[in-house]
A and B are shown apart, each in its own frame.
Chain A
């Protein structure tokens, strides 16, 4: 038996842990672009902010799209509710609320991540230290994930946690693609200029997939391959298909355990069917942007339905 409020806490705890880490990945990719390109770094930082869904809030506070401003806003600014610091703080508040549902190791890893990041992000980050800080964020969230997978019983508590992780991750990957969908369109860049190559690499870096891409495709960056990898690949842990494979699985566990199916099950199955049926060519024919926009909408709806079906409020 699980309280609806506890399920809610577990779901959001994991969404925010995922988000804390995704912010670090986005800044990492932006930093790489800014380092490898001499001009127009500000445009790149703008797309980082767009992917993070924080562009409007940022523009209200800053005028210059610099590495220092953007990384400060996305990593340590507590007035930005999605910054790494805010996210880890929200994750910990949720963990505190659902503490009785967590193993001691899991709770302590979250608490320790919060303590260490709070210390590390207390002062503005010197640009030279940025790589170290980004590594530390990824390490802390990896430790949480490790304790979580290593110690938690695979029951409904685990299921609701995973739903949070994969809804957030799917949203993040889809947004990254949507912000840059135009550089993946064949009509604009058939051959692939140096500029495009950077853009493509940046997309892959944002989901830490620039190396694994080569293992899978054994070739240079190609927009259709990149889109295929991030949308349809079953093995790539941040692809939309991968996320929905696990969302489907955990929702099925819940339906079996409780002996009841809900609206969220139908929605998840609809999205899964869409991902299974299509080839990347179909998606491009249909319109990549249209596909992604619809996906983001459906994914958000799934989150709302889960909350409603399982009495989060």
Chain B
């Protein structure tokens, strides 16, 4: 199936957002571009912008490949996307507030009760708890795919702890170092103020007990975590402390960090640790990554945890299929950004369809992430499909299925010149007293020709994402 190319669609020739870039590119010496590509890799390795890959012994630190051809969106395309995203994150927060309080949407029968009650991402501990400023999901990465000129779909709402924003920032930094002249020719909207916006946003949702300027910290599982670079990067850029569970304890009803001068109170914790590890007294008792007793402090309203515990219920893949209903229920309008049609394997009719069409579909685990545990039907062997069908039948409610979409492509630079590869887009959204969206995001690109899997853990790369100031 022919995919829509964002730079050079076969039907219409060069698309407008790429005109100025294309003119510049044609003037470039290919050898110089290759050199720049190597420069970029050196910059990334020197700075230590690496990620860890689970399940591989030697390659404990790898680079995410970076492609020097930018992915470009016009100002108009971006405006439309942001409207859709804003609507969506408002709905997500309203949904979370409702689910942990009156559960109107369940009473109205728009989302099945079972889906919530039996969901591991639903935290009963959060029932009746209202987070400071009423915000549940503060930092969201909405994965968007494009099918044609005017068709954008949301693939996933990452409402727990979306990662990758450091790549958005470093990719831009690298591009500006490599091609300063390009940014003089083309007006690209800046993304580098994201850390300040994040800081402002976190400060705005501080608990009422916080006096004066709130103390903010980033909680990381530690330097062996795959996204550690990003945790350190964000803490550094915001000018706040990067803490681990071992640095924290509850002192006099507040969460405090161990400093060289004793314990100091923390008001806002941007945590990059999963719910289950957050508080060994409330959740997994064997967790050394969290803070014993932090949930009591939270319930007493003495700390902001971003994102709030229990937000996973909103980006659960089984809930995802109800997002059009959810958006309409809370905003009173039709969703501006559509969903990809999704079969819930928990429903017998859907399961039957999915089993019959397994080789055409993408099947995902409801709670999976990072491209692990999924089946891309068209790319799988018959044997792989059969094995997956068995898993599916054993626990149908664990899976959803979606059609294999012709994701749009954007060219990457290869040894033989430009060559189209499938891409997606993850813009980053900050929610506090208002919604802030940085113009840009992370474009992930499947580097293997024809591949649809863009996850970095599965051999995907990234591109700088430009929103034109036009």
Question: Which residues on A are within 8 Å of B, measured CB to CB?
Answer: 1-5, 7, 93, 96-97, 99-100, 104, 107-108, 111-112, 115, 156, 160, 254, 258, 260, 310-311
Contacts and interface: CB of A to CB of B under 8 A. Distances in A.
A258 B261 contact: yes
Given A5-B244, A96-B228, A100-B232, A108 B259 contact: no
B60 to A, nearest CB: 11
Chain B interface SS verdict (over half): mixed
Contacts, number: 59
Interface bracket on B: 20 to 34
Contact of A311 (B46, B232, B259): B259
Contact of B262 (A96, A104, A115, A311): A311
B85 to A, nearest CB: 30
B184 interface: no
Contact of B223 (A1, A7, A96): A96
Contact of A3 (B45, B47, B48, B259): B259
A7 B259 CA distance: 9
Contacts of B47: 104, 108, 111
A4 B46 contact: no
Given A4-B247, A96-B232, 12 more contacts: A2-B260, A3-B243, A3-B257, A3-B260, A4-B260, A7-B260, A97-B222, A100-B235, A100-B236, A100-B242, A111-B47, A156-B260
Contacts of B244: 5
A37 to B, nearest CB: 42
Contacts of B242: 99-100
Nearest to A159: B260
Given A96-B223, A97-B223, A100-B235, A311 B260 contact: yes
B246 interface: yes
Contacts of B262: 311
Contacts of A2: 259-260
Interface of B: 45-48, 222-223, 228, 232, 235-236, 241-244, 246-247, 257-262, 264
Given A1-B264, A3-B259, A4-B258, A96 B48 contact: yes
B227 to A, nearest CB: 13
Chain A interface SS verdict (over half): helix
Given A1-B264, A4-B247, A111-B48, A99 B232 contact: yes
6 contacts: A1-B241, A93-B223, A96-B232, A100-B242, A107-B48, A111-B47
A259 to B, nearest CB: 9
A254 B222 CA distance: 27
A258 B262 CA distance: 11
Given A107-B48, A111-B48, A258 B236 contact: no
Nearest to B48: A111
B232 A1 contact: no
Contact of A5 (B45, B232, B246, B264): B246
B259 A1 contact: yes
Contacts of A310: 260
B223 A258 contact: no
B260 A258 contact: yes
A28 B222 CA distance: 37
Nearest to B262: A311
A108 B258 contact: no
Given A96-B48, A111-B46, A111-B48, A1 B247 contact: no
Indicate the member of B47, B48, B235 with the most A CB atoms within 10 Å: B48
Contact of B45 (A99, A100, A104, A115): A115
